[in-house]
Amino acid sequence: MPRPIILGVVGDSAAGKTTITRGLVRLLGEEHVTHIAADDYHRFDRRQRAEHAITPLHPACNYMDIMEQHFREVRAGRPILKPVYRHQDGTFGAPVYVTPRQFTIVEGLLGYHTEALREVFDVRVFLAPLEELRRKWKVDRDCSRRGYTTDQVLEELDRRESDSATFIRPQRRFADIVVCFVPGDHGQFDAEVTLGRGLVHPDLTPFVDGDQRGLTIVDAGTEHTLAISGGIDPGYAATIEEAIWDRMHFASHLRSERLGEFTVGTQLHRSESLALVQLLVLYHLVTARASVALGADGLRVAS
Amino acid sequence: MPRPIILGVVGDSAAGKTTITRGLVRLLGEEHVTHIAADDYHRFDRRQRAEHAITPLHPACNYMDIMEQHFREVRAGRPILKPVYRHQDGTFGAPVYVTPRQFTIVEGLLGYHTEALREVFDVRVFLAPLEELRRKWKVDRDCSRRGYTTDQVLEELDRRESDSATFIRPQRRFADIVVCFVPGDHGQFDAEVTLGRGLVHPDLTPFVDGDQRGLTIVDAGTEHTLAISGGIDPGYAATIEEAIWDRMHFASHLRSERLGEFTVGTQLHRSESLALVQLLVLYHLVTARASVALGADGLRVAS
């Protein structure tokens, strides 16, 4: 079996990592995807972090070397005994045996912090939503699912700000795809997508048409940041999606209507901009898979 | 720093692994020795083993591949996140971060079961005490320290016999030093020591003098199994020890009177035969260390 393809989904707490990932897993098929949360590699449990006054965003609060070791093993197709951090109560459990499948998705805070980590990934996504949006998402999630109060979450966000600025946000420069969600019209989210030089991306500039139908270039000088309007015309979005699928016709058996879904509370929503972002990521995953299956080491462009 | 030197101490349950190890650790200095119990790599906890009717002696009951991976990392001098099996209650705990020191001692049941495992060790010791002696040791230990009754331990020994014969005992042929303790006179233990061809051993044949003073050759045809009487004259034992120390004079700062100690219940005993066995093992550890420090990969002889 060719080695697994490794996707990194890195970003601050509550930046939308799981939302991006979920649709990709659905398309690729759960049975083909191994999922690793880098939070499992925390060095200190919740109590110890409070004692040491250290946030999980600090590299010293994580086993960076073990992460490198394990991810290298996974990339080579070898199983690992993965540690387990339990968000429910902030403690560690017994480790679990994980066999890498065709695709491995690593979600985490510090995935691109060291060069050895960066080298593991075939595709590096970085999520950088507007900070005000991320704070809202974090409050919503941590209160509903991790048992905190709103005030606790807001205090925690303040406590983490310095480490976010020092360790998390600078990682965006290593990403192949930086996604910045910002609130758009009608409660939709616009996505600003910055495409890095480490991979050759599908050319979407033919679809840029000013503000007319929802795809614009943010900085006319560079052409590498596109804005996808949350209110993009669905027919037009379908046309763009079609163009991307054209370039990966060998993967057309994966086509599905289910990209772009996300939940708020228990309610299911759909976002055209999210769907397009997911499809771009999928494009790189399946082309990397094809390349590796044909004997190459992947599609990363030497920088 | 040169890579760590790895000692394997393999043998059936209660074969005396910890007893051999303890004196070595004392001489080398606890601060220079990392200690790994291969039992930590069990795949199933005590309850699951009962459900599956599998003994911990079976390779399928252990993460052999993770053991290989971790021990390779340790040999390369890299830290691991080691799983933790708790003998007190037979469950797994959170893993611990282990940094390999100058020497790493791996104690376990199946250390030489695969070639990849065997290749990790600079020195391979296998303990094969007379079965009747081992059964007694196991009853004593498991009743006093692991909360079993005598009947439970005896039943467990019967249940394990087939796996012992199939998986544990055959590993002796891969060892550099096989130690078989047998009951001798006056409550002492005689040690039959078989020296393998994978390492060049100190030549003790000049000290063989029939039955006179305690060192004999077991099989006159081969000369590679020596019997050290538990009742060996202490002065003569000291002479032999001196000859071994002579060959590792560069390590004379490690000399100590404390080899050969063992406890029965809470009482401390001393055994000349145990001390000589430990010194033989120490010889190989410090010469391997010297060799690696000088840029070689160790002292193992290609077979």
Structure confidence at residue B195 (pLDDT) = 93
Q: Is residue B300 part of a domain?
A: no
Shared domain for B270 and B203, answered yes or no, is yes
Query: Over its length of 303 residues, how does chain B's per-residue pLDDT go in tens digits?
Result: 789 999 999 999 999 999 999 999 999 999 999 999 999 999 999 999 999 999 999 999 999 999 999 999 999 999 999 999 999 899 999 999 999 999 999 999 999 999 999 999 999 999 999 999 999 999 998 898 888 899 999 999 999 999 999 999 999 999 999 999 999 887 788 999 999 989 999 999 889 887 677 888 887 666 689 999 988 999 999 999 999 999 998 888 888 768 999 888 788 888 999 999 999 999 999 999 989 888 888 898 876
Instruction: Report the residue of chain B nearest A73, measured CA to CA.
Output: B69
Asked whether the beta carbons of residue A81 and residue B93 sit closer than 8 angstroms, the reply is: no
The SS3 assignment for B293 reads helix
Name the domain boundary from B102, B130, B158.
B130
Structure confidence at residue B120 (pLDDT) = 97
Shared domain for B1 and B122, answered yes or no, is yes
Percent of chain A with pLDDT over 90: 72
Give the span between the Cα atoms of B1 and B193, in whole angstroms: 33
Number of domains in chain A: 1
Q: Which of B69, B79, B84 sits opposite A73 (nearest CB)?
A: B69
Structure confidence at residue A257 (pLDDT) = 64
* CA distance to A134, B4, B158, per residue, from A264 (Å): 14, 53, 59
Q: Which of B66, B78, B91 sits opposite A79 (nearest CB)?
A: B66
Q: Is residue B159 part of a domain?
A: no
Q: Is residue A85 part of a domain?
A: yes
Asked whether the beta carbons of residue A79 and residue B73 sit closer than 8 angstroms, the reply is: no
Q: Is residue A58 part of a domain?
A: yes
Report chain A residues whose CB lies below 8 A from the CB of B79: 65-66
CATH number at residue A254: 3.40.50.300
Q: Is residue A12 part of a domain?
A: yes
Q: Is residue A272 part of a domain?
A: yes
Determine the distance in angstroms separating the CA of A85 from the nearest CA of chain B, rounded to an integer.
9
Determine the distance in angstroms separating the CA of A81 from the nearest CA of chain B, rounded to an integer.
7
Q: Which of A63, A65, A81 sits opposite B63 (nearest CB)?
A: A81
Q: What is the dihedral of CA A114, A119, A121, A126, to 10 degrees?
A: 40
User: Does residue A186 surpass a pLDDT of 80?
Assistant: no
Q: Is residue A152 part of a domain?
A: yes
Asked whether the beta carbons of residue B80 and residue A94 sit closer than 8 angstroms, the reply is: no
> What ipTM does this complex have?
0.76
Q: Any bridge partners for residue B125, and if so which?
A: B9, B177
Asked whether the beta carbons of residue B81 and residue A66 sit closer than 8 angstroms, the reply is: yes
Report chain A residues whose CB lies below 8 A from the CB of B84: 94
Q: Is residue B170 part of a domain?
A: no
For A237-280, the pLDDT digits (tens) are 999 999 999 998 888 888 876 899 888 878 888 899 999 999 99
* Among A26-35, A49-58, A214-223, B173-182, the least confident range: A214-223
Q: What are phi and psi of B116, to 5 degrees?
A: -60, -35
Report chain B residues whose CB lies below 8 A from the CB of A43: 97
CB count within 10 Å of CB A84 equals 15
Shared domain for B1 and B104, answered yes or no, is yes
Shared domain for B105 and B197, answered yes or no, is no
Q: Which domain holds residue B107?
A: 1-130
Asked whether the beta carbons of residue B78 and residue A94 sit closer than 8 angstroms, the reply is: no
Shared domain for B79 and B190, answered yes or no, is no
Spatial neighbors of A34 by CB under 8 A, at least 6 apart, are A4, A74, A98, A99, A100, A101, A103, A104, A105
Asked whether the beta carbons of residue B97 and residue A63 sit closer than 8 angstroms, the reply is: yes
**Candidates B64, B81, B89, B92, partner chain A, best to mutate (most A CBs within 10 A):** B81
Determine the distance in angstroms separating the CA of B85 from the nearest CA of chain A, rounded to an integer.
9
Shared domain for B38 and B120, answered yes or no, is yes
